[in-house]
Amino acid sequence: MTIVSRTEDLEILLAVIDSGGFSAAARLLDIQVARVSRAVSRLESELGATLLNRTTRRLELTDEGQQFVSAVREGLRQLASAEDGLRAQRGRPSGRLRVDAVTPFLLHQLVPLVPAFRATYPDIQLELMANERIIDLIERRTDLAIRIGALEDSNLHAKLLGHSPLHLVASPDYLASNGKPMQIEDLDQHTFIGFADAPHLNILPFKQPRAMQPKIASSSGEAIRQIALAGQGIALLSNFMIRQDIEQGRLIPLLGSQLQSPNPRESVQAVYYRSDALPPRIAAFLEFISKRIRL
């Protein structure tokens, strides 16, 4: 088997694992299911080992499969890094660049920059992925992630892009109907819109932090913004997603002088694999957005 065909089979195997099945991998890669099945069978035959236990409901990696896949992910990453080095010698960044971020950051900061980025770097194949939870970059084959707030210890490299202040906001219609809270205690008489599965994001950063119980909740920051714009309550949101709403009067800041700033939740950082040399496509993207995002 040639190196090219072997690499294709390995990519297909990872797609099966990451998507959860042969059919899902075929849809992801836009190929026939039969080709997916043949690729996995060919690998197992050449290796003389079973990589996947197949049941009617799901696929599971065998012990051998887990060890093999872990090595494959690292090997393909190193291969991509080597290719990046060769492209850099030719003077223009190229290749696939997969970027992960929470939906609001994707929509309000990255998407508006796509036309200019594509015009500047036409050889970079940009993939923007939305995830509300922190993902494993290696498992999801992601080059770069934008993360909001304090970072946990990891083996990833982090670049601080800046700080985005938090605002407690509500729409003019909501305030006209329910009154404007003038002090922290007044919030108990209002509807708070918060996060459904992240209680720490519902703690308001006053001098004495105040945990709020949402009456309306969502797992999506963008959904919370839309609900606040619809006049349904008060929300705590980052400036990077509501700056224009505030400037244009669609949302009104509340109790701003009492919110503690700066605080760890305001940091915006890019994280990526630690390596000896940053791939040119990642370096180009970081340099481009760091000059243009408005936090």
- Does this model's pTM top 0.85? My answer is no
Give pLDDT, residue 73: 80
CA distances for 251 relative to 55, 218, 233, angstroms: 52, 19, 11
140, exposed or middle or buried, with CB in 10 Å at 0-12, 13-18, 19+?
A: middle
Matching CATH topology for 92-162+266-290 and 166-261? yes
pLDDT, mean of residues 132-153: 83
pLDDT, mean of residues 114-131: 95
Give pLDDT, residue 153: 60
pLDDT tens-digit profile of 34-79?
A: 888 888 888 888 888 888 887 666 778 888 888 888 888 877 777 7
User: What are the boundaries of each domain within the chain?
Assistant: 3-84, 92-162+266-290, 166-261
pLDDT tens-digit profile of 240-260?
A: 999 999 999 999 999 988 999
pLDDT, mean of residues 183-197: 95
Q: Distance between CA 165 and CA 260 in Å, rounded?
A: 9
Give pLDDT, residue 248: 97
Give pLDDT, residue 24: 81
CATH code for residues 166-261: 3.40.190.10
Give pLDDT, residue 87: 59
Give pLDDT, residue 26: 83
Residue 287 has pLDDT above 60, yes or no: yes
The architecture of the domain spanning 92-162+266-290 is: 3-Layer(aba) Sandwich (3.40)
State in words which class domain 3-84 has. Answer: mainly alpha
Of 4, 142, 9, 155, give the one whose Cα is nearest residue 72.
9
Give pLDDT, residue 89: 53
Give pLDDT, residue 282: 92
pLDDT tens-digit profile of 95-120?
A: 899 999 999 999 999 999 999 999 99
Helix extents (H) in 121-171: none
pLDDT, mean of residues 262-289: 88
